[in-house]
């Protein structure tokens, strides 16, 4: 599909268990740098579980066990020496439901860079907050109310605030777990336009249950079914000429 130097994430033989239940069966996948990759498939097929493996969010689940490799440009993120807090600044996550901190819009953006010691003075922080909000396409809507609570924004604005918060720490990868499922069509369109803009600087992996969204917003698509990747390739190929009958059945609505 492409040369290995363009891989941002390389996943090899990734398996995951919740207790005795094997949820992922030896996933092999290459996530291409500077593009949007969508993960599609029926509910409960392993999409979100796989996504959470990419920044070790599953570490929080006591019954969860992971085998295999997830390499961020050659570094296995499951190496015991990896600092998980630092890892999550490199691989950020935007969740299904917008979850702004119960703080001002300004502090939502400034909090993590301050904790990580990225910015030590107020003028530089002002610049970082503004640039993050501009990149997330929400600056014009909030620039006059930065001290108001982020929770007072509309759902679509809250989600873009969460994206701004994620990019404030300058990640390599942004993971999005059904980021538009709680949003109306207008807010969804804004998020999709934003992804197209953000991929110029970041690698994006999105879980979506919306076939049209995957077709519109992603460059590559992986079809998950029962813990396996059935097919992976250019989005246009997956949607117009899938190689596997199970992929075609799902995309055309005959299944799932």
DSSP secondary structure of 95-115: -SS----SSBHHHHHHHHHHH
pLDDT tens for the 256 residues of the chain, in order: 455 569 999 999 999 999 999 999 999 999 999 999 999 999 999 999 999 999 999 998 999 999 999 999 999 999 999 999 999 999 999 999 999 999 999 999 999 999 889 998 999 999 999 999 999 999 999 999 999 999 999 999 999 999 999 999 999 999 999 999 989 999 999 999 999 999 999 999 999 999 999 999 999 999 999 999 999 999 999 999 999 999 999 998 876 5
Ranges of each domain in the chain: 4-251
Q: In the chain, what's the furthest Cα-to-Cα distance?
A: 57
Beta-bridge mates of residue 224: 229
Q: With a threshold of 0.75, does the pTM exceed it?
A: yes
Domain 4-251, CATH: 3.40.50.300
Q: Give the angle 171-173-176 at the CA atoms, nearest 5°.
A: 115
| Calpha distance 129→220 (Å, rounded) | 31
Q: Are 199 and 36 in contact (CB under 8 A)?
A: yes
């Amino acid at each position: 599909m492409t040369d290995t130097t363009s891989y941002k994430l390389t996943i090899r033989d990734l398996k995951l268990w919740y207790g005795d239940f094997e949820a992922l069966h030896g996933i092999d996948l290459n996530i291409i740098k500077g593009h949007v990759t969508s993960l599609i498939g029926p509910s409960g097929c392993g999409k979100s579980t796989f996504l959470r493996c990419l920044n070790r969010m599953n570490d929080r689940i006591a019954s969860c066990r992971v085998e295999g490799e997830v390499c961020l440009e050659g570094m296995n993120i499951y190496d015991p020496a990896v600092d998980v807090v630092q890892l999550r600044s490199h691989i950020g996550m935007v969740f299904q439901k917008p979850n702004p901190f119960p703080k001002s819009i300004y502090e939502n953006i400034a909090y993590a860079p301050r904790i990580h010691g990225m910015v030590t003075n107020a003028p530089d922080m002002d610049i970082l907050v503004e640039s993050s909000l501009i990149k997330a396409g929400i600056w014009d809507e909030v620039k006059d109310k930065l001290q108001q609570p982020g929770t007072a924004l509309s759902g679509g604005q809250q989600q873009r605030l969460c994206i701004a918060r994620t990019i404030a720490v300058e990640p390599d990868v942004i993971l999005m777990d059904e980021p538009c499922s709680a949003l109306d069509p207008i807010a969804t369109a804004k998020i999709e336009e934003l992804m197209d803009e953000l991929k110029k600087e970041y690698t994006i992996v999105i879980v979506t249950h919306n076939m049209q969204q995957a077709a519109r917003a992603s460059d590559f698509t992986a079809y998950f079914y029962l813990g396996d990747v059935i097919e992976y390739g250019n989005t246009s190929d997956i949607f117009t000429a899938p190689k596997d009958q199970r992929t075609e059945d799902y995309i055309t609505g005959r299944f799932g």
